[in-house]
Amino acid sequence: MPTNTQAVATAAHSGSAATEAFRESAGRRETAAADSARIDLVARDLLSRIHDVIREHHVTYAEYQAVKQWLIEVGQSGEWPLFLDVFVEHVVEEVATSDCHGSRGTIEGPYYLPGQVPLPATATLPMRDGEKGEPLVFAGQVRAVGGTPLPGVQLDIWHADADGLYSGFAPGIPAGNLRGVVTADEAGHFEIRTMLPAPYEIPKDGPTGQLIAAAGWHAWRPAHLHLMVSAPGYRKLTTQLYFDGGQWLDSDVAQAVKPELILRAQTGPDGTRHARYDFVLDPT
């Protein structure tokens, strides 16, 4: 359930932070070529399908004006990254990775921040003194399709804290908390100490939340680790890893859970959770 800390992570704060982070990282992203024929094809098809929905469901003028106002509010609140990453990105990811043979990917989501602290193959993520939650050791190896270990792979990892909040997107959390870029060893091995993340609701006090409430949906995401795994000569893998037995695995609001991405974490004698996942990268 939401905590008192979650209550201050407003949609406006998260939305503006996500929009700014997207703009700042635009240089690292692959951009689509300005192919007018392709733009014409996709835009016409998208508009045609919207027209079909209006006709099929007999959308009224009052409903049309309400949608127009809602779209304006999404833009004014800075919530487009949140809305698109939650409700659209999973299909884009599915299409973009349909020819991959390595590990399964899933959505990046709106809470990535580039330029985090570099860490060695065996490392502890930056965290606050007395960071809440269960200790977690996440380990594994990175190999190429075919089984060759990949040395020096970078694993950019970030996740929510025990209150379901991300550094950079909720007030009061130090910059870079529970974020880092780990470089695997010469055999592609890594071991990362951190804290078990919590499930969380996406912010509901803005227009995205208004849609969720009006439709009678829930806003929960299951607990997960975010990772970008990259090496020269290989396709970057963007993924999330979930935890067996966790809440909301079968009804993730972002529809990003895949069976291959669920970790089977074991609890050690000292109460530390241990999970392993071996990544396989496709050549470029």
Residue 5: per-residue pLDDT:
43
User: Which CATH number is 208's domain given?
Assistant: 2.60.130.10
In one-letter notation, the amino acid at residue 225 is L
At 19, the pLDDT band (50, 70, 90 cuts) reads confident
Q: Of 15-29, 121-135, 164-178, give the lowest mean pLDDT range.
A: 15-29
Q: How many domains does the chain have?
A: 1
pLDDT, tens digit (0-9, with 9 covering 90-100), for 193-235? 999 999 999 989 999 999 999 999 999 999 999 999 999 999 9
pLDDT > 80? residue 12 = no
235's torsion region: left (phi>0), alpha (psi -120 to 50) or beta? beta
Closest CA to 83 of 65, 64, 107: 107
Residue 234 forms part of a structural domain: yes
> Residue 197 domain-assigned?
yes
Q: Which residue has the higher pLDDT, 168 or 30?
A: 168
Average of per-residue pLDDT across 149-156: 97
Is 73 a member of any domain?
no
Name the pLDDT band for 27 (thresholds 50, 70, 90).
low
Asked whether residue 275 is assigned to any structural domain, the reply reads yes
- What's the pLDDT at 3? 46
Q: Is residue 37 part of a domain?
A: no
Query: Has residue 52 been placed in a domain?
Result: no
| Cβ-contact 177, 116 below 8 angstroms | no
pLDDT category, 34, cuts 50, 70, 90?
confident
Tell me the residue range of the domain where 188 lies. 4-31+79-281
So what's the pLDDT on residue 35?
85
Task: Say if pTM beats, i.e. exceeds, 0.85.
Answer: yes
Tokens found for residue 160? 């929510």
In the chain, the percentage of residues whose pLDDT exceeds 90 is 87
Q: Is residue 61 domain-resident?
A: no
Q: What's the chain's average pLDDT? A: 92
28 vs 189: CA distance, rounded Å: 26
In a domain, 71, yes or no: no
pLDDT (tens digit per residue) in 37-88: 999 999 999 999 999 999 999 999 999 999 999 999 999 999 999 999 999 9
**Residue 33 pLDDT:** 67
